[in-house]
Structure 1
Amino acid sequence: MKRALQILSWLLLVFTIVFAQESERTPLFFDASSFSSVEERGVMRRELRGNVHMIKDSLDVTCDQAVYYPDSGIVIFRYNVVFKDPHRTMFADEVIYNEWTEEAFASTKIRVYQSDTLSVTSRTARYFERLNQGYLYDDVRIHELGRRVLLMGRLGFTDHVKEYGRVTGEPVMTERDSAGLLITRVKGDTVEYFGDRKTVRVTGKVRIERDSLIATGTFLEYLTADRMAVLTGEPEAIRADNHVVGDTIRLYFEKDEKLSRVEVAGNAVATSPADSGFAEPKNRMEGKLMTMWVDSGAISSVLVENSAIATYFVRDKNEKRGMNVTSGDRLRVFFDGRKISRIRVEGGTEGTYTPQRLVSTPEPKTTPR
């Protein structure tokens, strides 16, 4: 008997909790040009047509047609659907909304706008907690409006509260300048956007294309507000015939979006052909830290620090003169066009000059006829 009373008390407690939750559930308020109720096989269905308007707390929904199933809490909104809450607005052709879980499954021409920061589009989407979080499917686009950054892919996820977005499935990140011209294109396995830090993160097989620069690696963080990109994971940067590798490559951009400086940290090596039109021989600079300044799309000077070594081939009016190897604590290399004009060495200076007749370089490869 005592056991039975305990079970009964427990059931009464559960019923009380459930009833309290049901009674606390916020009701839906509907308005429409026409309204009808139909019961089929014990299931109540309420149909609304023309200027449909629904309100629940701060959620405001309008559409052309709606069907409400009060027993399951399901509302199907169709045609010109507009979901609004105080922070964001969603447009779609159809939305299936669960008033109890507040999940929304939207389909066809989905567009979500959040103030002047983020916009999201996809073919279908499933949103949770009103419009706070959502999974996106097919032709996903997450657009950061302030910096004109766009993330594209087949699948996506967005957290509008945190201003976070992620795309996968052959994802691409693009950026445009103030005139709307495409200036940056980045590919990888996953592309993420962190709105609180104004940062784009790309992981996997990263490839950056910007102007004539191509850079590759496995991990990229692009700080859009600071106009700086950090590339790691065996990074390599290629611009025309110039190759740069190291442990970390940092790219800095000016306000006009042009590349202004490249920093290479850890086992930094830069190479470029000594003679135009030939792959060999190559001028080479190496050190623990390397900084390259770019002016009008060309390297103007390079600072190499910590165990710095420069190997370059001397040319005088295109005549081969020999090879110089210079080392020191710091090397400052200046360029005139694509050619080294002078080198300034600081600390522990050493230099070796080899006349041209003693220089051994690979013969240029030719294609047999």
Structure 2
Amino acid sequence: MSGIPSSFQKSAFYVVLLALLTAVMGQTGNQQSSGLELLHADLSRGVEENGIPLKILSGNVHARQDSLELFCDRAVYNQQSGEIHLRGNVRLYRGQDTLLAEEVRYFEENQIAVAEGNVHVFRPGQELRSEYLEYHYNTNQIRARRNVYLHDSDNRVYITARQGEYIPDADYSYVRGNAHLWRVDSTTTDTIHIFCRQQEYHFGESRRAVARDSVHIYQGNLHATCDSAVYQIEEDIIYLMSEPVAIQENNKMTGRQMQLILENRELKRIRIDNEARAVSLLDSLAKKQNTLEGREIILYITDRELHQIQAISNARSFYYLREQEEEQGINVASADTIKVFIKENALDSISVIGGSQGTYYPPDYKGKIVQE
């Protein structure tokens, strides 16, 4: 998609996951932990290395500590230090959590797993990936870095950033530094992208993303900017605050607040509140542009094309009239409501409703044109 910054690529970032311990996780930090149990291996032999006895395990290795189950293809267990090095198809399970990696070093005394290589952590409807991850099972704290991203699979939402926090039991994440959220639409053709410096994502019943600081939003041919935005996932509405600006093809919209209203991730309406203004550039060299203003403006979009603009309350318009590519003058109007109909990205007709006043200026008019 043109115009999207290069940060669309997965950003390497540092994520700290802090969570309250719950019954789902199967233990609390105050419980006394039992030692590591070696339950099965197809082959097991003892060796001594630098005076340290080691146990070499291979084939369907299975170990357990409390409610944590550990599986791999092969492992080396140092009973003296309480460290087991698992390699090959490593899987760790506890409650509803699953950790997968190419290799894991697990320290039974502190219950810490250090995972490397294609690390995945799964919870119902959520996923975390990285190349390096430390999972503190005794405190339910995770540190991950290198190519990390979060995935809310229930809503097709992905998040990347440089660093942040993720609290799974609180259904909350916070990231900062080139934060990027994207959500795939129903046809996977017009994915929503939200870029910002800081972002929160709430996984709870009211799923939402809160973007702050230098927010950029891309969807199809739309590019919007603002200082802060809230994306209500279930409602499929993005609320833009703090002087939002939206550009779609040759149309520019501004106001104090703005809403991007979607259906199945496809943009259907843009609503602008307070000091609402929509400008359509006709000729940049001649500085010709159509303008519509009002307390509220709603833009209606069908099949990704703008087809109607409606200004409500204290509406004012300034439009160049054309017919078959010939200029037909200028129409300046004010009314309670003004509706502008667009066809093939050009003005088709204007409807002025309630308390209307207007002035028509013919194409050969040479005097001063007064905008209402």
Shorter-normalised TM range: 0.7 to 0.9
What displacement does 1:72 show?
Answer: 5.7
Highest RCO, 1 vs 2 (Cα 8 Å, sep ≥ 6): 2
**In the aligned structure 1, how far is the partner of 2:188 from the partner of 2:93?**
29
Map 1:218-367; keep pairs closer than 5 Å: 218-255=227-264, 257-274=265-282, 280-337=287-344, 338-346=346-354, 348-356=355-363, 357-358=365-366
Paired letter, 2:182? T
Indicate if the aligned counterparts of 1:271 and 1:282 stay in contact, CA closer than 8 A. Answer: yes
RMSD: 3.0
SS at match of 1:84: strand
- 2:24 aligns to what? none
Q: TM-score, normalised by structure 2?
A: 0.79
- 2:151 aligns to what? 143
Change (3 A) 1:344 1:100: farther
Change (3 A) 1:23 1:307: closer
Paired letter, 1:148? R
Whichever of the two has the greater Rg, that structure is: 1
> Identity, % of aligned pairs?
26
Moved more, 293-302 or 130-139: 130-139
Indicate if the aligned counterparts of 1:74 and 1:96 stay in contact, CA closer than 8 A. Answer: yes
Report Cα offsets for 1:121-165 as digits up to 9, x if no partner: 111122234695423211112122122222233445433333434
Paired letter, 1:150? Y
- 1:365 aligns to what? none
SS at match of 2:178: coil
Map 1:125-164; keep pairs closer than 5 Å: 125-129=133-137, 132-164=140-172
Moved more, 286-295 or 92-101: 92-101
What displacement does 1:285 show?
Answer: 1.2
1:207 aligns with 2:216: yes
- 1:103 aligns to what? 112
Report Cα offsets for 1:188-220 as digits up to 9, x if no partner: 223443211322332222222211111112222
- 1:13 aligns to what? none
**In the aligned structure 2, how far is the partner of 1:124 from the partner of 1:359?**
71
User: Out of 22, 46, 51, which is 1:36 matched to?
Assistant: 46
Report Cα offsets for 1:219-275 as digits up to 9, x if no partner: 2222232221112232111111000011222111123x3211111112211100246
SS at match of 2:217: strand
SS at match of 2:234: coil
Paired letter, 1:63? C
User: Out of 175, 178, 186, which is 1:170 matched to?
Assistant: 178
- 1:27 aligns to what? 35
1:52 aligns with 2:61: yes
> Aligned residues, how many?
335
**In the aligned structure 1, how far is the partner of 2:174 from the partner of 2:224?**
22
SS at match of 2:73: strand
Indicate if the aligned counterparts of 1:132 and 1:160 stay in contact, CA closer than 8 A. Answer: no
What displacement does 1:68 show?
Answer: 4.5
**In the aligned structure 2, how far is the partner of 1:148 from the partner of 1:80?**
27
Q: TM-score, normalised by structure 1?
A: 0.79
Report Cα offsets for 1:56-78 as digits up to 9, x if no partner: 23211112344445566544333
